[in-house]
Structure 1
C-alpha cells in the first residue's frame, strides 16, 4: 500500500500546495486506488503521477467545503474520456449527491460508467472480504467525517518445502491449505493447514481524517493505527485561530496520534501562511513525541510494507 498526496494545502491553492486530495494506492491489494477528498485541480495533479483515473474505484469525501470537492466534476467527466468503464462509488455527507447530480446535469456531462453516490452516517460504510471502512463525525464548522481503512488479516504464507515433503501435489490443494482448510490426500493422509503455513499477519490500518479540531472521535478512529493522516492547518503559535475556524495545530495532531497509540503521523492541510522555510519549525514543535511525524508536500508518497512506513524519494 502507498499513500500519495495530490494536494496538501488549506482553503485555496497556493504556489506550493494544491487543495486537498489524498490517494490510497491499493494496486497490489486490489488493482485500484481510492481517493480521499478531491479539491480543485485534482485531475491536473494526477497528470503528474502514474495514477490512471480508470483505476479509481472509490472516492471518500470528508465534507462539502469547496477545497475538498471542487475537483470532482472535472475528474468524473475526464474518467469517461480516459477509458474508465468500471463502476465508481462516492461516499460523503448528506448533500453530496444533490451537488454532483445538479453539476453533471447542468453541464450535460455524460458518464460512460456506473456512478453510485452514498450519503453516509457514522459506522461501517464499506466491507468486503479484504477491507473495512468506518466513518465518524469530527468537529469542524460543518458536518465532517474522518475515515479508517482496515485491511483484514492476510492469508498466511504457504511453506512449500513442507507441502513438498508431505507429498502434497501442486495445484488446487495448495490453495485450500493457504486459505486455512485441511485436506485429505489420495492415500488417506490428512494434512492440516496449520502444519504447512506460517503465522497469519495482520493487515494495515490507516486513519484519514477531515478538517477538525482536536476531538475524541479523531482518537477513536486512529486507535492503534499504523498511519494517521491528520490536518495541521496551524502551528502552536496560531492555536487560537485553529480553535476559531474549527481546525487543528500540528501539536493537536500529534496528541491525537499519541493518545491513540498510533505508529506514524502524516500531517497535511497546511495553511499558506507557512512558507517552506517554516516547516522545519512546525516539526520542531512536536519533536518530543516518540513516533515519526511527517509534513506532507504535494506529491509526497509513502510506502507501507513489512510493518514499516517509508517515504518514497521522488
Structure 2
C-alpha cells in the first residue's frame, strides 16, 4: 500500500477505514507544510509499536524530510524498529528521470510552483498481461495448478512431459495499465500540465474558488478553475478536486459544490474528493 502525504490525523482515518496500516510500504510527501507531514512521525511510530512493518517503509519527499523526521524521533526518544529509508526526490524531479520502478509500477515527479519546494507525482501502471485462455490450455493437456499462474504471467514453462510452453501464446494482447497524477500544492503551472499529460486520473488541489484568484496567486495555490484548466490542457480522463480551504464549508456563502460547479464548467468529468472516497480508475485508449 502507498500513501501520498500524511497530514495530522491520518492514522486515525486509517482506523476508521478498511485499510490495514501494516500493509504500508511507501509514503510520498509533496512538500513540508504541516498539513502534509504532521501526521507522519506518529504514523511511523505506531507502525513500530505494532511490530507489523518488518518489510520496512520507503519515504520519498523534499530534502528537509529526513532531518525533520530524525529531529522529531530523536527529541521524542521514539525508536523505529524496522527498516526506514528516505529518498530525496529533487534530482529525479529536476532531471526528469524515474523516481521509482518495480515490476508493476513507475513513478515520476516534477517541481511545482509553491512557496516552498513542492513536487507532483505521476504513478504509471505497467501494461498488464493479456487474458489467459484456459480452454486453449486444456486443449494442450496442460495440467491445472501453479503452472497456470506462471503461464498467465507470460513465462515459458517446461512441463513434466518435457514440452516447453510459452505463456504468451496462451494470453491475449497486453492490456494498458492506468496512470494517476497527484498534484498539490501549486498555483497553475506548465509543469503540472506536462506531468499530467494523458493521465487517466488527476488529483489536483483546489484551495480557492475562482473569485479568489488573486489570493491564489499570492499564496501560490490553485483555484477550482485552475485545476480544471490543467486537466483540460493535459487531456486527462478524470479530475478530482482536493485540498479545499475550510472557508468553503457548507453554510458559507461559497460552498464546495460551487467550486465543483466552477470546475465542471471547464472540465465536466470532475469529482469532489471526500473522506474514504474510492475510485475505480480505468485506462483510456489514448493514455500515455
Cα RMSD after superposing both structures: 2.1
Matched residue, 1:226:
200
CA drift of 1:152 comes to 0.6
TM-score w.r.t. length of structure 1: 0.81
Secondary structure of the residue aligned to 1:73 is helix
Q: Is contact 1:84–1:112 with CA below 8 Å preserved after alignment?
A: no
CA drift of 1:251 comes to 0.7
User: Of 63, 72, 76, which aligns to 1:103?
Assistant: 72
Count of matched residue positions in the alignment of Structure 1 and Structure 2? 275
Deviation per residue, 1:98-139 (Å, 9 max, x gap): 110011011000112111111122131111111111111001
CA drift of 1:289 comes to 3.8
Matched residue, 1:21:
none
Question: In 2, Cα distance between the equivalents of 1:161 and 1:138?
Answer: 51
Higher helix share: 2
CA drift of 1:241 comes to 0.7
Is 1:285 aligned to 2:254, yes or no? no
Deviation per residue, 1:191-241 (Å, 9 max, x gap): 554542122111111001120011111111111111100000011111111
Structure 2 unmatched ranges of 5 or more: none
Secondary structure of the residue aligned to 1:124 is coil
Question: Could you say if the C-alpha distance between residues 146 and 179 of structure 1 is closer, same or farther in structure 2, counting changes exceeding 3 Å?
Answer: same
Question: In 1, Cα distance between the equivalents of 2:236 and 2:15?
Answer: 33
Q: Is contact 2:6–2:36 with CA below 8 Å preserved after alignment?
A: yes
Which structure exhibits the higher relative contact order, with contacts defined as CA atoms closer than 8 Å and separated by 6 or more residues?
Answer: 1
Question: Could you say if the C-alpha distance between residues 82 and 198 of structure 1 is closer, same or farther in structure 2, counting changes exceeding 3 Å?
Answer: same
Is 1:112 aligned to 2:81, yes or no? yes
Secondary structure of the residue aligned to 2:51 is coil
Question: In 1, Cα distance between the equivalents of 2:283 and 2:88?
Answer: 35
Matched residue, 2:113:
139
User: Of 50, 70, 94, which aligns to 1:82?
Assistant: 50
Q: Is contact 1:263–1:291 with CA below 8 Å preserved after alignment?
A: no
Question: In 2, Cα distance between the equivalents of 1:275 and 1:172?
Answer: 53
Is 1:214 aligned to 2:188, yes or no? yes
Question: In 1, Cα distance between the equivalents of 2:187 and 2:89?
Answer: 21
Secondary structure of the residue aligned to 1:225 is coil
Secondary structure of the residue aligned to 2:280 is strand
Further displaced range: 137-146 or 34-43:
34-43
Question: In 2, Cα distance between the equivalents of 1:104 and 1:215?
Answer: 35
Question: Could you say if the C-alpha distance between residues 192 and 53 of structure 1 is closer, same or farther in structure 2, counting changes exceeding 3 Å?
Answer: closer
Q: Is contact 2:201–2:239 with CA below 8 Å preserved after alignment?
A: yes
CA drift of 1:306 comes to 7.4
TM-score w.r.t. length of structure 2: 0.88
Alignment of 1:68-217 (within 5 A): 68-86=36-54, 87-121=56-90, 122=93, 123-171=97-145, 173-181=147-155, 192-217=166-191
Higher strand share: 1
Deviation per residue, 1:138-157 (Å, 9 max, x gap): 01111000001111111221
Matched residue, 1:59:
27
Secondary structure of the residue aligned to 2:144 is coil
Question: In 1, Cα distance between the equivalents of 2:65 and 2:159?
Answer: 55
Question: In 1, Cα distance between the equivalents of 2:276 and 2:167?
Answer: 43
Question: Could you say if the C-alpha distance between residues 272 and 172 of structure 1 is closer, same or farther in structure 2, counting changes exceeding 3 Å?
Answer: closer
